[in-house]
Structure 1
Amino acid sequence: MFLDGEEWRAKFRQFRSEAWRLETLPQYLVPQEAEELEAFRAGVRVDPLTYSSPYTERLKRQRAEGRHQGRVHVISRPLSEYLEFEFSRYYEPNFMAGEDIRILDVTDRENPLPDVQDFWMFDRSTVVLMRYEPDGTQISRELHEGDPEPFIEYQRIAVAESVPFLDFLRA
């Protein structure tokens, strides 16, 4: 089942305790980010302490409601330009707004999650597969109709093998 529009946005309003994502690509080509990416290339940076967007406001509301959102991004150095942009433009403000962001650096080690594709998981029961072209262009979001247990295990491994975002930046 393809998820888009209101049906997709509802997943973030309706989860009870946790929304969690695994990211595996060095680049995501998102048309809505084109202007911001160009500004980043021109040296414009956001202040993560004062930045506000509908996304960061939603993160703050969720946290106040006792609902948690997190992600692990599997990366390899050197960071792509896109990852430098994403870390600065989105991860820092989102982290400050309450998202639990972690980094799994596989530069000098074997990836403990080989061949696992991007996904979102809601309340450890609903899995949405995020499908992309090799260049990071999104193809679809599809509701996984099978057992969520393998994805729960992927989450466990990703969290155990990763470090908090700020620790990664300090390293």
Structure 2
Amino acid sequence: MFLDGEDWRAKFRDFQTEAWRLETLPQYLVPQEAEEIEAFRAGKRINPETFSCEYTARLKRQRREGRRQGRVHVVTRPLSEYLEFEFSRYYRPHALAGEEIRILDVTGRENPLPGVQDFWMFDRTTVVLMHYEADGKQISREVYEGDPAPFIEYQRIALAESVPFLEFLRG
């Protein structure tokens, strides 16, 4: 089953305890971000302490409700321009709003998750595979129909091998 529109939004509205993502690409081409990327290239920055949008408001609400959202992004250095943008524009304010963001830096070491594609997992029962072109353009989202156990293991490995986002920035 392919997800889009209201069905996709419902995954974030209706999860009970946890929404979690694995990100593996150095770049995501999102047309809605084009203007923000240009502003980033021009040196315009946001204040993550005061930045607010619908997404950060949702993260704060979920936290108050006892629901968690997190992700691990697999990276290599030097970081791509997109990752520098994403870290400053999204990750900082999202981490401050309560998203549990971690970084798995595989620079100079073996990737513990070779060949694992991007996915979202909701309540450790529903997995949504994220399909992308090689350049990071999203093709589709697909509900995985099999056993979620391998994805739970991928999450375990990703969490064990990564560091919190803010710690990554300091180190």
* TM-score bracket, shorter-length normalisation: over 0.9
Match of 2:69 in 1: 69
Amino acid at match of 1:108: G
SS in 2 for 1:26: coil
Q: Where do residues 1-40 of structure 1 align in structure 2 (5 Å cutoff)?
A: 1-40=1-40
Alpha-carbon shift at residue 108 of structure 1 (Å):
1.3
CA distance in 1, matches of 2:13, 2:143: 16
Q: TM-score, normalised by structure 1?
A: 1.00
Amino acid in the other structure paired with 1:110: E
Q: Give the SS at the match of 1:56.
A: helix
Once the two structures are superposed, the pairs formed by residues 98-137 of structure 1 within 5 Å of their partners are 98-137=98-137
- Is 1:147–2:147 an aligned residue pair? yes
Counterpart amino acid of residue 32 in structure 2: Q
CA distance in 2, matches of 1:162, 1:15: 24
How far is the alpha carbon of 1:71 from its aligned partner?
0.1
CA RMSD, 1 decimal: 0.3
* TM-superposition CA deviations, 1:89-124 (whole Å, max 9, x none): 000000000000000000011000000000000000
Unaligned runs of 5+ in 1: none
What is the aligned partner in structure 2 of residue 91 from structure 1?
Answer: 91
Q: Please give the alpha-carbon distance, in whole angstroms, between the structure 2 residues aligned to 1:64 and 1:32.
A: 29
Runs of 4+ residues over 3 Å off in structure 1: none
Q: Which runs of 5+ in 2 are unaligned?
A: none
Residue type at the aligned position of 1:68? R
Q: How many residues align?
A: 171
